[in-house]
Amino acid sequence: MVDIWIFVQQRDGDVEEATFGLATEAKRMLAELDQAGQVTAVALGPASESVLEALGAYGVQRVLHVANDHMNRYQGEIFGRALFDLVQKENPACLLMAQSSETEDLAQRAAAMMKTALVTRAMDFSMTADGTARAIRPVANGYLFEDVSLDTYPAPIVLFLPSVLFDTQPDREAAATVTRVDLPDAVDDLKTRTIQVIEAAPEDLDLTEADIIVAGGRGVGKGEAFDIIHALARAIGGSVGGTRPIIDWGDLPYERQIGQTGK
């Protein structure tokens, strides 16, 4: 049976919308394979059982939940080791994530330990019965797209651009089966530890984490003309984004691009 995993992204105790989009992608892949399979969600860190059970309405059959006292906040070494141990134990067909600053770090750690393929900024991903897979990802700031072929063993990790994970509505009345998984605590082997958490200023907050975004495009203009966007963001406590022309002109870095090939 094909077991496709999706990674549960959480914020303030709630499941983020991108996770539901991943469930839709996983269901699509299973339908294309035309094989018996299931969608498994992996949740690391604190999450209520009722919230995780609700993923069943989006097509998730089971949830593997790993949590301990050291997983209340993301820590790359702890989360990476937990994910690696879980993959080694369960052997899924692939692992899908929505790309964010957190999953970029986590996916690289897990892929290195697994010695497997890692596809970033994916816009599409599919598998075939012969053990190969295909991913489409943008290059050159989205002006070109590349078609990547890879093996599905060991299980590849795929980071989807959040902008291609469309809003998904629950389509069934079912609860996912939540299984609590106890794994060895790696805290004694850590090379790093969290001393202090410094909250980002609203203007600098990652676009995927911001409640308010002030975005500008070609019509605003370049250079000093774009300062009005920064001023408005500071005034209302928002983060700053821009469309592709603003990024191409160098007024904002790529991670602040909004659109199909951005966020």
Listed in order, strand segments (DSSP E) in 29-186 are 37-44, 62-66, 94-98, 118-122, 124-127, 132-139, 144-151, 157-160, 177-180
Q: How far is it, in rounded angstroms, from Cα 22 to Cα 19?
A: 5
Tokens of 79: 């989360």
Model-level pTM greater than 0.95? no
70: DSSP letter: T
Per-residue pLDDT tens listing for the chain (263 residues)? 899 999 999 987 789 999 999 999 999 999 999 888 999 999 999 889 999 999 999 999 999 999 888 888 889 999 999 999 999 999 999 999 999 989 999 999 999 999 999 999 999 999 998 889 999 999 876 789 999 999 888 999 999 998 899 778 887 888 999 999 987 776 677 888 888 888 777 788 888 888 899 999 999 999 999 999 999 999 999 999 999 999 999 999 988 999 877 78
